[in-house]
């Protein structure tokens, strides 16, 4: 008498489907950039970042977190944020520049740092050692891959608002990309909003704030993302100072 293999509802596979779709979106972004449609490529990369948040949320909501899902998510993150993103930056800014070779080195550093950051995350999950990747307050350690990609795309956001980065600011862009890569492999705490809780009295304020950001993203997408990146970078040392002050007080 044969035993039927266990069956799972399709909803359990939904997070993995979203992750695979995210890889397709990132691959299409590279295609668009190579065809000269940088504007579309950037929209697709932003969409890939949104999908990265959605698949994790779905996995937790549906209680369908699996090892293969975690590995697939890491592979998608590395492709979209560690390969597609630096490739699009290179072909848009450095490919025709006099310093293209040095530009290629900077995007390789960016990609390698992203790989190291994701490898460290995988090790922390496999060994169940949350002290490596997250603190007791669920903070990230170093800049996470989606935030790294968004920061790295800042020079392209400048291109979209009319600043000729490839002509005048290639060296600045190289330095910026290396710094972003270094931030991703840093060992300092960075904020994680996955488990953020807010007082009920602030619900309306938060909803209005999020709506205002969404409206700005629709009307002024590149300017809004640039401001968001600047605010994120400025808050990094502030957050580190707050966390370290809290730890000192606890001791």
DSSP 3-state assignment of 176?
helix
Question: Do residues 166 and 93 touch, judged by C-beta distance below 8 A?
Answer: yes
What spatial distance separates the first Cα and last Cα of the chain, rounded to whole Å?
63
Residue 209 backbone dihedrals phi, psi, to 5 degrees: -65, -45
Q: Which of 60, 152, 65, 57 is nearest to 106 (CA)?
A: 152
Neighbouring residues of 49: CB distance < 8 A, sequence distance ≥ 6: 80, 81, 146, 149, 150
Token duo for residue 171: 């060296």
Average pLDDT over residues 198-219: 84
- Rounded-to-integer distance, Cα 239 and Cα 241, Å: 5
Answer whether residue 228 shows pLDDT above 80.
yes
Give the pLDDT score at 172: 92
Question: Do residues 73 and 19 touch, judged by C-beta distance below 8 A?
Answer: yes
Fold assignment, 12-191 = 1.20.120
Question: Do residues 166 and 92 touch, judged by C-beta distance below 8 A?
Answer: yes
Answer whether residue 109 shows pLDDT above 70.
yes
Neighbouring residues of 157: CB distance < 8 A, sequence distance ≥ 6: 42, 222, 223, 225, 226, 229
Rg (CA), the chain: 20
Angle between helices 38-61 and 145-152 (to 10 degrees): 170
Per-residue pLDDT tens digits for 112-171:
999 999 998 888 766 554 444 444 456 788 899 999 999 999 999 999 998 888 888 899
- Rounded-to-integer distance, Cα 99 and Cα 94, Å: 7
- Rounded-to-integer distance, Cα 145 and Cα 140, Å: 11
DSSP string, 131-166: HHHB-TT--EES--HHHHHHHHTHHHHHHHTT--HH
Neighbouring residues of 96: CB distance < 8 A, sequence distance ≥ 6: 166
Token duo for residue 221: 């997408």
Per-residue pLDDT tens digits for 35-65:
989 999 999 999 999 998 887 777 777 776 6
Answer whether residue 78 shows pLDDT above 50.
yes
Mean pLDDT in the chain? 84
Q: Which of 14, 46, 16 is nearest to 28 (CA)?
A: 46
Answer whether residue 9 shows pLDDT above 70.
no
Average pLDDT over residues 69-89: 91
Least confident of 19-23, 186-190, 227-231: 186-190
Percent over 70 (pLDDT), the chain: 84
Domain positions in the chain are 12-191
Task: Give the count of alpha carbons within 13 A of 166, CB side only.
Answer: 17
Angle at the Cα of 61 from the Cα atoms of 56 and 62, rounded to 5 degrees: 100
């Amino acid at each position: 008498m044969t035993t039927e293999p266990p069956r799972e509802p399709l909803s359990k596979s939904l997070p993995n489907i979203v992750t695979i779709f995210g890889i397709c979106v990132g691959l299409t972004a590279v295609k668009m950039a190579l065809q000269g449609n940088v504007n579309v490529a950037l929209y697709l990369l932003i969409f890939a970042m949104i999908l990265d948040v959605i698949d994790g949320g779905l996995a937790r909501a549906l209680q369908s977190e699996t090892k293969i899902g975690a590995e697939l998510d890491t592979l998608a993150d590395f492709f979209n944020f560690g390969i597609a993103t630096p490739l699009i930056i290179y072909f848009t800014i450095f490919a025709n520049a006099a310093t293209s070779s040095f530009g290629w080195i900077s995007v390789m550093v960016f990609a390698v740092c992203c790989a190291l950051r994701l490898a460290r995350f995988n090790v922390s999950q496999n060994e169940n050692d949350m002290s490596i990747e997250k603190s007791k307050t669920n903070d990230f350690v170093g800049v996470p891959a989606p935030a790294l990609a968004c920061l790295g795309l800042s020079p392209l956001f400048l291109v979209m608002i009319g600043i000729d980065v490839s002509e005048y600011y290639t060296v600045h862009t190289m330095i910026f990309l290396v710094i972003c890569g270094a931030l991703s492999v840093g060992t300092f705490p960075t904020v994680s909003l996955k488990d953020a809780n807010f007082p009920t009295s602030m619900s309306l304020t938060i909803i209005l704030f999020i709506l205002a950001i969404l409206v700005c993203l629709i009307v002024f997408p590149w300017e809004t993302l640039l401001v968001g990146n600047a605010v994120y970078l400025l808050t990094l040392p502030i957050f580190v100072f707050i966390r370290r002050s809290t730890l000192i007080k606890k001791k």
